[in-house]
Amino acid sequence: GENVEQHPSTLSVQEGDSAVIKCTYSDSASNYFPWYKQELGKRPQLIIDIRSNVGEKKDQRIAVTLNKTAKHFSLHITETQPEDSAVYFCAASVDGNNRLAFGKGNQVVVIP
Amino acid sequence: GAVVSQHPSWVICKSGTSVKIECRSLDFQATTMFWYRQFPKQSLMLMATSNEGSKATYEQGVEKDKFLINHASLTLSTLTVTSAHPEDSSFYICSAKSATNYGYTFGSGTRLTVV
């Protein structure tokens, strides 16, 4: 089955700096890659997603890049702010886009 | 946008009792519902997938007789934890998907504590 690896497990950045989280996946048939932000005790919130026919997508301070050949995708957060502090999960579609396999999560801490 | 309402948000129950968690899609038809369990500081672990009107497909290691899933309509799915034990204490989250959209919408989660 699909195996999604996420690195690093924790990331501390100074406010204003950029944060990058990388994920790798194993199933070459995966075609949908969302990123979720989860604050403590709350639901995961979709922050950006990308489909396999696109290499990069940007939404204000958030961007995602996808390298299908290498089977990895990355989340980029620029000009980080304290409210960006949360756990971020990457995911990849499985079984013809019906299920999602999640990475283990990354705790991002933005230091004011 | 798509909204999924999940209730209750938290529940405390005694060992041996059953607890039902509901997820409703408010403005779209949830043809597929996913149920996850999340332990503290861990990722979301898929428990089962259910399609409207069909029996749920459970992930390996998840007891179908303990975690009963019903998806009788396109807007409602329920998860019943039967004969709950303290080790079932966790954060349970549903996620709904429609046939016309590749996105997944999460419920707000249910914090279950079994005492």
Convert the pLDDT of each residue in B10-62 to its tens digit. Answer: 999 999 999 999 999 998 888 899 999 999 889 999 999 998 888 899 999 99
Convert the pLDDT of each residue in B59-78 to its tens digit. Answer: 999 999 999 999 989 999 99
Nearest-neighbour CA in chain A from B95: distance (Å): 10
By C-alpha distance, the chain A residue nearest B93 is A43
Place of tokens 């529940």: B11
Given a contact cutoff of 8 angstroms between Cβ atoms, the answer to whether B96 and B105 are in contact is: yes
Chain B residues close to A44, C-beta within 8 Å: 44, 93, 106
- Over its C-alpha atoms, chain A yields an Rg (Å, rounded) of 13
Nearest-neighbour CA in chain A from B83: distance (Å): 25
Q: Which of A99, A104, A107 to mutate to test the interface with B (most CBs of B within 10 A)?
A: A99
Residue A97: pLDDT band (50, 70, 90) is low
Asked if B107 lies within 8 A of A105 by C-beta distance, the reply is no
Averaged pLDDT score across all residues of chain A: 93
Q: How far is CA B108 from CA A45, B8, B12, B40, in A?
A: 10, 9, 17, 16
Nearest to A89 among B43, B97, B111 (CB): B43
Element (H, E) at B92: strand B90-97
Given a contact cutoff of 8 angstroms between Cβ atoms, the answer to whether A84 and A75 are in contact is: no
Instruction: Please count the residues of chain B.
Output: 115
Given a contact cutoff of 8 angstroms between Cβ atoms, the answer to whether B108 and B6 are in contact is: yes
Question: What sign results for the dihedral spanned by CA atoms B52, B55, B59, B64?
Answer: positive
Convert the pLDDT of each residue in A35-86 to its tens digit. Answer: 999 998 899 999 999 998 889 999 999 999 999 999 999 999 999 999 999 9
Averaged pLDDT score across all residues of chain B: 93
Residue A96 has a pLDDT of 65
Contacts of B80 (CB under 8 A, 6+ apart): B18, B19, B20, B21, B67, B68, B69, B70
Alpha helices in chain B (DSSP H): none
> In chain A, positions 52-91, which contact chain B (CB-CB < 8 Å)?
89
Nearest-neighbour CA in chain B from A102: distance (Å): 7
Asked if A41 lies within 8 A of B43 by C-beta distance, the reply is no
Q: How far is CA A76 from CA A59, A62, B26, B53, B107, in A?
A: 10, 6, 32, 40, 26
Nearest to B106 among A44, A51, A93 (CB): A44
Convert the pLDDT of each residue in B86-114 to its tens digit. Answer: 999 999 999 998 877 768 899 999 999 99
Residue B114 has a pLDDT of 97
Cα separation of A20 and A41, whole Å? 24
